[in-house]
Amino acid sequence: MDGGYDIVMVTYGHARTVARALEAVTAMAPAPERVVLVENAPDGASAGRASAFGDRLPLEIVEPGRNTGFAGGFNLGLARTRAPWVLSLNPDCAPEPAFAGRLLDAAGERDGAVTGRLVRGEGPALRPSGVLDAAGMIVLPSGRHLDRGAGEPDDGRYGEPARVFGGTGAATLYRRAALEDVAYPDGQVMAESLFAYREDAELAWRLQWRGWSCRYEPSARAVHGRGLRPERGRGADPVADRHSVRNRFLLRWHCADLGWHLACFPWWFLRDLAVLGACLTVERGSLGAFGELWGLRHDARERRRWVLGRATVPSRRIRRWFRRNGRVEPVDVP
């Protein structure tokens, strides 16, 4: 075990579940050194529920007065932490008591992130549903990133430790030294231009470029409510759909090199055509994403130049993750 850990939790409309999440945190052993909750909602409802835990947890509540998105909220919270490890924890996620301890024990020297086994939860009590939510993040040649096992039965599958591309921001433990290593020159660890959705994949890609790996540890379990479930498809939340469209391009603009585009052609191109076609027909509310992309083109170019200019691993090592069915590796692969 390499030092202690802090927790960063970003809330927006999570008054129904935040008390259950914090109740689970009170039972964790080892306990966090600090819990920073960033309340993005103007009504402060989640912060109000969380304040009841002030005498049970080393809790700090931050209310920036505006919606900073998940990325901006995480950065605000991270700046108020000091421990060697930081657990990104969603307010609809209830870890088991041993969750953080098992992640800490599993971490290898070059693991910049360690993620556990997430199971879907139901209702404000986050009752386990018997359905998997995530067993690490995998990536496809189209540029898509997926939570491995999402929507599948929680029947023991994905029961072996593995190296994965990354971990979901819902419940992943990050090494502070790794986050500092990949932070942008403006101090952003999570890219705030993404605001919300795919920011964990963008961070995972930057970590990979710098040689930081991510370990999946199945013995570390948590229950995750997850409001937007990928297997239900799109259309449930137009704002989320627009962010998702914009960010799938920003993700590549920040992190994909020429070698990736050549090796993964035509899968990403066909996916781009499908997304554009959907925006022109059945999902026209997402067309605004392309105007937002145009406005971010200069920022994205500078971020890409910085990311690729600091890469310490060869492009082929990054590309090996982007397989048609995703890829994981045994934990003993260098």
Domain ranges within the chain, ordered by starting residue: 5-231, 233-312
Residue 280 and residue 166: Cα distance in Å, rounded? 32
**Length, in residues, of the chain:** 334
**Which amino acid is located at 88 in the chain?**
S
- The residues of the chain scoring below 50 in pLDDT are 231, 234
pLDDT of residue 239: 87
pLDDT of residue 110: 94
pLDDT of residue 237: 77
| CATH superfamily for domain 5-231 | Spore Coat Polysaccharide Biosynthesis Protein SpsA; Chain A (3.90.550.10)
pLDDT of residue 183: 98
Instruction: Give me 36's structure tokens.
Output: 């920073």
- Sign of the torsion formed by the C-alpha atoms of 143, 250, 300 and 168: negative
Backbone angles phi, psi at 204, to 5 degrees: -60, -40
pLDDT of residue 2: 60
Predicted TM-score of the model (pTM) = 0.95
Nearest to 148 by CA among 161, 135, 165, 130: 135
Contact 89, 8 (CB under 8 A): yes
pLDDT of residue 297: 97
pLDDT of residue 19: 97
Nearest to 120 by CA among 74, 171, 69, 45: 171
The alpha carbons of the chain give a radius of gyration, in whole angstroms, of 19
pLDDT of residue 230: 53
